[in-house]
Amino acid sequence: MNLELMELSKSYKKKTALTQVDLQIEEGECVVLCGGNGAGKSTMIKLLTGVETPSTGKVVVHSGQKKAFAYMPDQMNFPPELTTIEILQYYGQFLKKGHEAIKAVLEKVGLWDERNQRVGGFSKGMSQRLNLAQCLLADTDIYILDEPTNGLDPYWVIQLKQIIKELKERNKTVIVSSHIMRDAIEIADKVLILFNGKVKSYGTLDKVYKEYSCSSLEEVFLSIHESEHQKKREGA
């Protein structure tokens, strides 16, 4: 396996953002974190990447590399005065990646021809592709992508899914946070469904469908939503 989440939780003062999570993520899997706003996806991403410290539990990373994971946040505010290649060269210094590696990832995300453009003039989609490029440059065991399709046009959403497929073929582990259920269906080996900071289900799509007697993720979400609100009304 690549990752173990052991009794992992996060609270902010009196608010619990993530209730205790225990699960394993295997090498070469794509796991999609699903849920609406406030479900706990961003909190889990922050705990996985070490951006925040858990209130309880821990994340155990099994990797043969010093830098175990690469991270694509939901948004990166790159210095607008720098060019595309200057930004990748900056990351390359820390990652010990040279010109050929930088060229390869910029070609992968379709930005090699824009390598000398200042990123202050980039569209949202171009900035997001540069964000993806800095993540891919790490070439490590685990990739954590937070809402990676934000701002991407349909063509680049398709290309992103192909990139994830290629990472899996190289036995890389990919963790994706997404509120778009169609994306989860197309790329996930397993889905982790969160609702109000609680894990409601984890496993393959077939397992999740069977658990809720549903035939689609949309039906699963509706079932969870209705069940939780019914509990809330009964407890009022």
* pLDDT reading at 235 higher than 80: no
Count of structural domains, the chain:
1
Structural domain includes residue 136:
no
What pLDDT shows up at residue 222?
92
Structural domain includes residue 15:
yes
- List, for residues 2-35, the tens digit of each pLDDT value: 899 999 999 998 899 999 999 999 999 999 999 8
- List, for residues 52-72, the tens digit of each pLDDT value: 999 999 999 987 777 789 999
Longest dimension (CA), the chain: 62
Lowest mean pLDDT among 78-82, 124-128, 173-177, 225-229: 225-229
What pLDDT shows up at residue 180?
82
- 236: confidence class by pLDDT, cuts 50, 70, 90: low
Q: How far apart are the C-alpha atoms of 65 and 75, rounded to whole Å?
A: 26
| DSSP state at residue 6 | E
Structural domain includes residue 225:
yes
- List, for residues 89-113, the tens digit of each pLDDT value: 999 999 999 999 999 999 999 999 9
Q: How far apart are the C-alpha atoms of 98 and 45, rounded to whole Å?
A: 29
- List, for residues 169-195, the tens digit of each pLDDT value: 999 999 999 888 887 888 999 999 999
Are 32 and 176 spatial neighbours (Cβ–Cβ below 8 Å)?
yes
| CATH at residue 223 | 3.40.50.300
What pLDDT shows up at residue 231?
83
Structural domain includes residue 189:
yes
Q: How far apart are the C-alpha atoms of 68 and 168, rounded to whole Å?
A: 16
What is the average pLDDT across 199-205? 96
Which residue from 87, 81, 72 is spatially nearest to 177, judged by alpha carbons?
A: 72
CA distances from 205 to 6, 37, 201, 226 (A): 23, 21, 10, 20
Q: Name the burial class of residue 205, with classes exposed (0-12), middle (13-18) and buried (19+) by CB atoms within 10 angstroms of its CB.
A: middle
What is the average pLDDT across 157-164? 96
**Top-confidence residue, 56 or 236:** 56
Structural domain includes residue 84:
no
Domain range for 184 is: 1-68+142-153+172-235
Structural domain includes residue 90:
no
Structural domain includes residue 79:
no
Structural domain includes residue 119:
no
Instruction: Kindly report the average pLDDT of the chain as a whole number.
Output: 93
Q: Name the burial class of residue 234, with classes exposed (0-12), middle (13-18) and buried (19+) by CB atoms within 10 angstroms of its CB.
A: exposed
